[in-house]
Structure 1
Amino acid sequence: MSDNNNSSKRPKYDVPLWHKTNLSIEEAVAYTGIGRDKLREMTSRENCPFVLWIGNRRLIKRMVFDEYIAKMYSV
């Protein structure tokens, strides 16, 4: 019976975070060590260059975020 439930779900792919184009907030926390609240604050800014909104879902453009962090002194 559980096999039928699994077939209706999207397949899960184990892709390393550093290969992903976009990261969820939770993935970005694991990837950077920056806290969830701080990432939400940063991505809520109107001029945030590395946030991608898909409806209400907030994703972080990993490569743009890497460049942004490399240039920053503090966040």
Structure 2
Amino acid sequence: MVRRLGALLYFEKKRRTFINEVPIWEKSNLTLEEAAAYSGIGINKLRQLTNDEDCEFVLWLGTKRLIKRRKFDEYIEKLYAFLLEL
């Protein structure tokens, strides 16, 4: 049984071990699922965006793709600012 002890620390009674969990907004790289939860953009759309060779916010580790959170935030801000200018 796992009980929550604060924002970042979990305690498991059976094994008496501590497990650290980093919140999404503090991670530097996100999986597609985490990026979708973080941004509200669907996983399929994120796959489309990151398939582009010029995508600055994707990090490839073999076949695994990670989203660089800070670069992704900058991309979203630029896109939003561009849409406001229209």
**Backbone CA RMSD of aligned residues:** 1.7
The number of aligned residues is: 64
Give the drift of 1:37. Answer: 0.4
1:43-62 superposed matches below 5 A: 43-62=50-69
TM-score (norm. length: structure 2): 0.70
| Structure index of larger Rg | 2
Q: In percent, how many aligned pairs have the same letter?
A: 59
Match of 1:39 among 43, 46, 69: 46
- Relative to its length, the structure with more helix (as a share) is 1
> What does 1:5-24 align with in structure 2 at a 5 Å threshold?
13-24=20-31
Gap regions ≥5 residues in structure 2: 1-18
Match of 2:78?
71
Q: Does 1:25 align with 2:32?
A: yes
Distance, in Å, in 1 between the alignment partners of 2:78 and 2:38 is 17
Q: Which has the higher contact order (CA 8 A, sep 6+)?
A: 1
Moved segments of 4+, more than 3 Å? none
TM-score normalised by the chain length of structure 1: 0.79
